[in-house]
Chains A and B, each alone.
Chain A
């Protein structure tokens, strides 16, 4: 049971990281950023590529696996943020005042594009995460109440929680965070009080993409592999998490992510692993039927 709970927490933490990007963009632009799952996948690829480059270029640095992981994390977050920023500039900015449908279709196109861009550039086969770098993190598992917990699992859960805490503090305490909240409430009024809306929106995409890339690195490290099409499912599940918690609501996305992860792992353990991908969809449909505003959301469903 504890083992399943730990797995669920890890899965959930990752979903929450991705869901934050969805919920932040939805809160500000009122659109579903379909390409967000792809950014997560790009983050995973970037971290693997960065590690490969580090190994190839400077063997002495590769002697310090933890440091390498940090460098890879920074590279992956930087480049993924650049991708998120570019996606917004290219595909969404011009459509900000267009009908919601146009932006949504553009986002779907962008998602298909990014997925196939990775496929064409990096190949269709699975990419393995170099096992050498995670070796020190999994070599000495703790045994707690019959559950086998590795250092890696603890690190992932703690970093997810730390990142989310940091984001929460950033949004609730800093000036820029306040500007973001103001923009989410009313774009026009925010611009009247001197907030540069374009900058805030770009920043939202940059932060969201960075979080997704961190999630991508952690997942590819945890399950040791990634593929060009993982972003699609992860994206839908993270979106489910965002809806579950109340879309547009940042603590809600975190709660929804953890809940979804735990429900999914328990479902795999106690019902059937065959339907692994189906639980999220069923939860999504139930939430939309029973409580479309989500667990923590108070936003009205009909907003025009």
Chain B
């Protein structure tokens, strides 16, 4: 469809019209106030359309923008290759080990939370990015991990490290129970069932006060005490700085394990399933088994993140594990680039740190956060479905062969 000035004008008028009753009318105690909202929205759409028009007319600018973007993603794509990154990784790691000493408590806390979200996003990336299965209730598995550890810690005084194992097993079992019936079905059923699972977990946590403290969360007056901090040979890790290093170690371990997994037989099987399930099955891959495996591993990672979260926060409520969180983690994976470890980490950092700073500086912006997440998800799917940094295999499939990317010899063969 060729976009013309007239069409842009019409589209912006249309947007101004349909937003008229919702944005243009403020109701305050049964009196009706009109405001200029629709005009602003129409104006924004008009401006956006005109910029779009200008860009498509002025090919030079478009080409320039393309040239600016493609080497960025190409070099980032190169960075995942183990041989190239050794050097950079080492320096980044050393930097990450030194900087927390310059952080204030507030920023240290932010860094730990970001780390937890990176673990979650990487865990979700296994199932969404690698195996191509959409999971919408990831926060449910996270909640299972956190509550398992909190309960074990409060009732049985279970130490952190054992808690990691138990929570991983329980979360993995939940993954198995949820995944088994619906992995044989179409992908979108899985999405909806996991969404149901996430909500189910939250409602159960809310409505079983005797076991989980209900809305009050854990610990509460029935189950008092604190959730155990991790200990190493009697040394209790409870300072934020300890949690920073613990999180850092867990993130690094996650990255290493996922990198190994992706380059293994299993990882290749997942990618084959993602690209074409029927072809994968005819190549002798047990698709159901592989999908369930991806699902379980992903759930296990949510369990790990849950234990870390429960120990760090020392207080958990069901409201911390809402659908919002699942959507946020999914948005991180999508923004960064499905299937690309580096991209997902970047996505998690952008989506967690940026809103935090904006909230810190401009509290009024808080309400617009999710609005922008939603819009970002739609826009990414429309214009850059491979994410900010696409994984190499994906890049070749999605955009043909992108500029500046050398195609590995194996993929060039017919």
The interface of chain A, by Cβ under 8 A from chain B, is 31-32, 42, 45-46, 48-50, 52-53, 55-57, 75, 79, 82-83, 86, 90-91, 94-95, 98-106, 108-122, 127, 130, 232, 236, 239-240, 243, 274-275, 277-278, 280-282, 284-285, 288-289, 292, 301-304
What would 26 A/B residue contacts be, using CB atoms closer than 8 Å? A46-B21, A52-B25, A53-B25, A79-B18, A82-B17, A86-B18, A94-B382, A95-B382, A101-B187, A102-B381, A102-B385, A106-B381, A109-B378, A113-B375, A116-B368, A121-B19, A278-B200, A278-B203, A284-B192, A285-B181, A288-B182, A288-B185, A292-B185, A301-B186, A302-B185, A304-B277
Query: Is the CB–CB distance between B188 and A301 below 8 Å?
Result: no
Which residues of A sit under 8 angstroms from B200, Cβ to Cβ?
278, 281-282
Per a CB cutoff under 8 Å, which of B188, B373, B382 touches A112?
B373
Number of interface residues of B (CB under 8 A): 58
Interchain CB contact under 8 A, B22 and A303: no
- Interface segment, one of B29-37, B165-173, B256-264: B29-37
CB of B136 closer than 8 Å to a CB of A = yes
Report the Cα distance A109→B372, complex, angstroms: 9
> Are A49 and B134 within 8 A (Cβ)?
no
Smallest CB separation, B318 vs chain A (Å): 13
Contacts of A49 in B (CB 8 A): 21-22, 25, 27
- Residues in B whose Cβ lies below 8 Å from that of A114: 374
Q: Which of B310-355 contact A (CB under 8 A)?
A: 323, 327, 330-331, 334
- B181 near A101 with CB under 8 A, answer no
Residues in B neighbouring A274, C-beta threshold 8 A: 207
Could you say which of A46, A53, A75, A285 contacts B193, with CB atoms under 8 Å apart?
Answer: A285
CB-CB under 8 A for A121 and B23, given A108-B327, A304-B278: yes
Complex Cα distance, B192 from A240, in Å, reads: 9
Chain B residue with the shortest CB-CB distance to A50: B21
Cβ of B370 < 8 Å from any Cβ of A?
A: yes
Known A105-B381, A110-B374, A113-B374; judge A239-B327 contact (CB<8 A).
Answer: no
- Nearest neighbor of B371 in chain A, beta-carbon distance: A116
Whether A236 and B382, one on each chain, are in contact in the complex, defined by CB atoms closer than 8 angstroms, is: no
Interface SS, A side: helix
Cβ of B263 to closest chain A Cβ, rounded Å: 23
Please tell me if B91 contacts chain A, counting CB pairs below 8 Å: no
Are A32 and B185 CB-contacts (below 8 A) given A52-B32, A288-B193?
A: no
B246-289 residues with Cβ-Cβ distance < 8 A to A are 277-278
Nearest chain B CB to A264 CB, angstrom units:
14
Given known contacts A56-B32, A113-B374, what 11 new A-B pairs fall within 8 Å (CB)?
A99-B132, A100-B188, A104-B187, A106-B382, A112-B377, A115-B374, A116-B371, A120-B371, A278-B207, A281-B197, A289-B181
B119 at interface, CB cutoff 8 A: no
CA of A32 to CA of B185 in the docked complex: distance in angstroms?
14
Q: How far is the CA of A112 from the CA of B327 in the complex (A)?
A: 9
* A75 CA / B20 CA spacing, docked (Å): 12
B330 in complex: contacting residue of A42, A108, A243, CB < 8 Å: A108
Q: What are the 3 A-B residue pairs with the smallest beta carbon separation, nearest first?
A: A109-B377, A113-B374, A112-B374
